[in-house]
Amino acid sequence: MISSATLGLFLLSVSLLLLSPGPNMAFLLSYSTLQGPRAAYAVALGIALADLVLTLLTAGGVTAILLAWPPMFDVLRLAGAEYLLWLAYKAWCSGGVMALASVPQRSERDIVRMAMVNSLLNPKALLFFMVFLPQFVDASQGNVGWQLCQLGGVLTVLAFVFHAVLGCLAASVSGWLVRQPGFAVWQGRVLAIVLLGLAARLLILQRPGNA
């Protein structure tokens, strides 16, 4: 059983993780702005499903095996940075998060699938589950795999609620925002700078355990 102190620290860490911008947030704002609250719930569900998959992989030891192979960390880091740079380029050239949805209208089922894949390829999520999540496990408290499942379950619920609420808020103000002169260009530039910063952070990130 996870202690209340560990759970509290974990909740704080997850909240900060969710508030930091990244590919998931860009994808959520894109489809919520374009297609409304139903799309927001679909994206939130896709991200939650990805979190469940990563939780099971972590609890099963798969992510630990991958992390134990030194080149894998660099592969994930560099691939994630390249992905973020591509998103930054697209946002800068095309005018913001709405440009990140290459096809304006998608079914909710398609959005769930794409959000899930986008989240599974999200370097921030992968590194969190591979490196950060195990730090909240205390072997003296019982089965490690079960603790990881509990932590992953908490993360999944919080992520779904956060993304659903944020997406609905974005959908509610999208009509007013898109009518503002220069909004798309300004928002695209800001998003591109944020994504560039995330890419730079990944590029300088060191493998856990390295000096």
Residue 58 is assigned to a structural domain of this protein: yes
Q: What tens digit of pLDDT does each residue of 126-181 get?
A: 777 877 777 788 777 778 788 888 889 999 999 999 999 999 998 887 666 555 55
Region 202-207 average pLDDT: 68
pLDDT band of residue 209 (cuts 50, 70, 90) is low
Does a structural domain hold residue 211?
A: no
At 169-186, the pLDDT tens digits run: 988 876 665 555 555 556
pLDDT digits (tens, 9 = 90+) for 96-109: 554 544 445 778 89
Quick check: is 210 in a domain?
Answer: no
Query: Which range among 8-12, 39-43, 73-77 has the greatest average pLDDT?
Result: 39-43
Identify whether the C-beta of residue 154 lies closer than 8 Å to the C-beta of residue 10.
yes
Domain holding 161, by residue range, is 4-204
Asked if residue 209 belongs to a domain, the reply is no
Distance between CA atoms of residues 48 and 119, nearest Å: 9
Domain count, the chain: 1
Cβ neighbours of residue 138 under 8 Å, at least 6 residues apart? 2, 3, 6, 147
Q: Identify residue 145 by its one-letter amino acid code.
A: G
